[in-house]
Amino acid sequence: MKRKRSGILYGILTAVCFVCGFLMFDRGTEGTKEEMPAVAWIQAQEQADTGEIEREWAAREQAEKAAIEAQQAEQEEKQREEKEKSLDKQELRQRFGTAVIVGDSVAEGFLDYEILEADSIIAKKGLRADTAGKDIEKALALSPAHLFLCLGLNDLEYCQGDSSRFVKEYEKRILEIREIAPELSIYVNGILPVLPEAVEEKEDLAYVDAFNRALKRMCQNLDVVYIDSSDLLTGREEWYQKDRVHLKVMFYPIWLDYMEEMAGL
């Protein structure tokens, strides 16, 4: 009897343990089910992080693309400048013939960029109407058929806005030329415009238009051809050097073409 009862008790105990184990497993499953919202939140965060990374990559790719395009544009600009420099300068020089230019640092660009040869241009930094006499004599010694004058930039500051003082000295140079070479064709270039940034640095540069008006009247009185090249620079701020006064190489062939056209060469 004792053995039989022990077997029964053992069976009951086993069943109880099984039931308890099942219940614990079921509760564990329920706990897992209760934890699912937390898992979903984590997954959502992971997805959000992925979206942010994708946006960052897209922004980076866009920035890299913009940088590449800017670099390409810069290279194209350099190539264009190189192309301008490789113009048939020999043709330009032949077309200019026996003409000579006398001028200041702006006119020096014809030499600096090798647009013209030394026997076609006499230019010097700082040259003014009142100091150009000897340089004009050098030009006349070359026996030119046409003489182009490019003065006035330095006179703006020297004359302190007094355009009458400027044209008085300029007129002296014209009369001196006519005394030495009365048949020589003379052409007076107007002062080329400067950009506003340059005027901020030097206030006297603001008198360009006033000096040009006085210069034009002088040319009319002396029956000299006045050449206004200002329109060539309209909307061409990129042609200016950093000082916003002097000009880059691409302007000079165009300027020379215009001078030739105005002179009928």
pLDDT, tens digit (0-9, with 9 covering 90-100), for 116-152 = 988 899 999 999 999 999 999 999 999 999 999 999 9
What one-character-per-residue DSSP string does 129-183 give? TTT-HHHHHHHHTT--SEEEEE--HHHHHHTTT-HHHHHHHHHHHHHHHHHH-TT
What one-character-per-residue DSSP string does 57-114 give? HHHHHHHHHHHHHHHHHHHHHHHHHHHHHTS-HHHHHHHHTT-EEEESTTTTHHHHTT
DSSP state at residue 1: -
80 within domain boundaries: yes
244 with 147, same domain: the answer is yes
* Mode of pairing for the β-strands spanning 121-123 and 146-150: unpaired
159 with 253, same domain: the answer is yes
82 with 94, same domain: the answer is no
Q: What pLDDT is attached to residue 243?
A: 95
Which band of pLDDT confidence, cut at 50, 70 and 90, is reported for residue 186?
very high
122 with 229, same domain: the answer is yes
Which band of pLDDT confidence, cut at 50, 70 and 90, is reported for residue 98?
confident
249 with 122, same domain: the answer is yes
What is the residue-averaged pLDDT of the chain? Answer: 82
22 within domain boundaries: no
Check which CATH number belongs to the domain holding 180 and give it: 3.40.50.1110
- Its domain, for residue 190, covers 88-263
The total domain count for the chain is: 2
138 with 223, same domain: the answer is yes
pTM above 0.75, yes or no: no
176 with 229, same domain: the answer is yes
26 within domain boundaries: no
The region of weakest confidence among 73-77, 124-128, 171-175 is 73-77
Q: What percent of the chain has pLDDT over 70?
A: 75
Taking a C-beta distance cutoff of 8 angstroms, is the pair 173, 129 a contact? yes
23 within domain boundaries: no
187 with 236, same domain: the answer is yes
- The larger pLDDT score, comparing residue 190 to residue 18, is at 190
184 with 221, same domain: the answer is yes
pLDDT above 90 (res 182) = yes
- The larger pLDDT score, comparing residue 150 to residue 83, is at 150
Q: What percent of the chain has pLDDT over 90?
A: 58
- Average pLDDT (185-189) is 97
Q: Which of 125, 218, 138, 205 is nearest to 170 (CA)?
A: 218
1 within domain boundaries: no
98 with 182, same domain: the answer is yes
- The larger pLDDT score, comparing residue 56 to residue 168, is at 168
pLDDT above 80 (res 10) = no
Last residue of a domain, one of 86, 110, 126: 86
Q: What pLDDT is attached to residue 74?
A: 76
130 with 233, same domain: the answer is yes
59 with 117, same domain: the answer is no
pLDDT above 70 (res 254) = yes
Structure tokens at 207: 């008198």
